[in-house]
Structure formats: structure tokens, C-alpha cells
Amino acid sequence: KQEVTQIPAALSVPEGENLVLNCSFTDSAIYNLQWFRQDPGKGLTSLLLIQSSQREQTSGRLNASLDKSSGRSTLYIAASQPGDSATYLCAVKSNAGNMLTFGGGTRLMVKP
Amino acid sequence: SQTIHQWPATLVQPVGSPLSLECTVEGTSNPNLYWYRQAAGRGLQLLFYSVGIGQISSEVPQNLSASRPQDRQFILSSKKLLLSDSGFYLCAWSFSGRMGSGTDTQYFGPGTRLTVL
């Protein structure tokens, strides 16, 4: 059974800092890994999707990497802004089925 | 472009009452549809998914059921709510035909906050 863990659970940084969010998964047989953003009381917004054959994806100030063999992904946020404050979720789609397995999320606060 | 709608946005129901949450998708045909629940202090859990009208797969045993009466309509129901059914319910969709691939991003609706008292 796939398990996804995100560390840290919460993070507070001053504006302008570069930061890294971590995601680990137990079963390396995956189709893809996605990073989502969730604002309080809202739905999820997809940020980046990395296919199992890819090593990284970039979108603006966001860069996500995938190391399938070690079961890890990182989300790098450059020059953080207060508007980046949200919960960031990673989710893994396993080869064995159609479901996404989500991590518990990292609650990020960027202070002005 | 595609949009996904959920209603109601919030709902407070007594224990033992019935439930019906609705999700609709616009701008695409034959989408894959999903219901998730996000309980306080817990991660997102997939409840049901559907690849077509009348085709529902359940991921976990529970007090809830799902139906897909139309191509772009997905309904989550319960005959008698339990306290443990409280949570944030999210509907999502993805393009059909990609469920077995690595490119099927899921797009989420705004969610329904359900409180069972």
C-alpha cells in the first residue's frame, strides 16, 4: 500500500526566502506525482505534474523534482511571497490503480 | 475551457438525516470523475471514481454512495449521516482515456464543507 509523507507539516519563512518542501513515498512504482496548492476552505489547484519518466518540472518560481528510485520529490519555491501562503499537497498515482494517494500537506506561511 | 461546480458550499445536517452533494463539469465530454473527503487532521481520501455514466468504483467501505446519472454529473449521497461523515468534500475530474497514463492531471472543484451535528 502506497504511503505518502510530507515534511515539514508547517513552515514559516520571511518574504524573499527560497524554500524546499519535501515529499516521500514508499512504493516507487508510480505513474506520476503531482503538487497541489490548497488555500483555506478552498479546493485544490494543480501546480506541477511530473511523469514517472521525468526528473523535474518548472513553472515560474516553482520547480519540482522527482527521484523515483529513492521515493522522493521536492518542491522548490524561489523568492517566496506572502501570496504563496497556503497548504501544499503532493499526491502520487501508483501503477497499481487509479487512485491518487495524498500526503498530509505542508502548511506554508510567508511573512511580509 | 472546462469548469467544475459543487454545491452547496456549506451544509449543516443532523445525525441520521440524508445527504446529497452535487458536482457538475462543463466544457468536456466523458470526464473521469472523483469524490474525495478531507477530514480534520487527516489527508485527502478518495471515496469514489467514475469512468462513465452508471460506472462507479468505491475505494473504501463507508456510509456513503455515489451515482452518475448524466455524463458530467456526479452525486454523493447518504441515507443516514453519521458524525464521522463531517468533513470537506471535494469533487475532481480528469480527461478520459488518460487514467492509465502519466499525464492525467486532476482538476478540483471548490468543495463542500459538511458538518454533521
pLDDT in tens, A6-33: 999 999 999 999 999 999 999 998 989 9
A35 and chain B in contact, CB less than 8 A: no
Stretch A82-96: mean pLDDT, rounded? 90
- pLDDT(B103) > 70: no
Q: Which residues of B touch A103 (CB under 8 A)?
A: 43
Q: Which pLDDT value is given to residue A98?
A: 65
Chain A residues whose beta carbon lies within 8 Å of the beta carbon of residue B111 = 41-43
Q: Is the pLDDT of residue B102 over 60?
A: no
The SS3 call for residue A37 is strand
Q: Quick check: B108 and A31 CB within 8 A?
A: no
Average pLDDT score, chain B: 90
Q: Is A37 on the interface with B (CB under 8 A)?
A: no
B41 pLDDT higher than 80: no
The per-residue pLDDT of chain A, averaged, comes to 93
Please, which pLDDT band fits residue B51 given cuts at 50, 70 and 90?
A: confident
Q: Do B44 and A46 touch (CB under 8 A)?
A: no
| Res B99: pLDDT | 54
Cell numbers that stand for B60 in this block: 473504501
**Does the structure show a pLDDT above 80 at A96?**
no
For B19, other C-beta atoms within 10 Å of its C-beta total: 21
Give the other-Cβ count within 10 Å of A89's Cβ: 25
Radius of gyration of chain A (CA): 13
Q: How many CA atoms lie within 13 A of B55 on its CB side?
A: 10
Of A62-66, B92-96, B109-113, least confident by mean pLDDT is B92-96
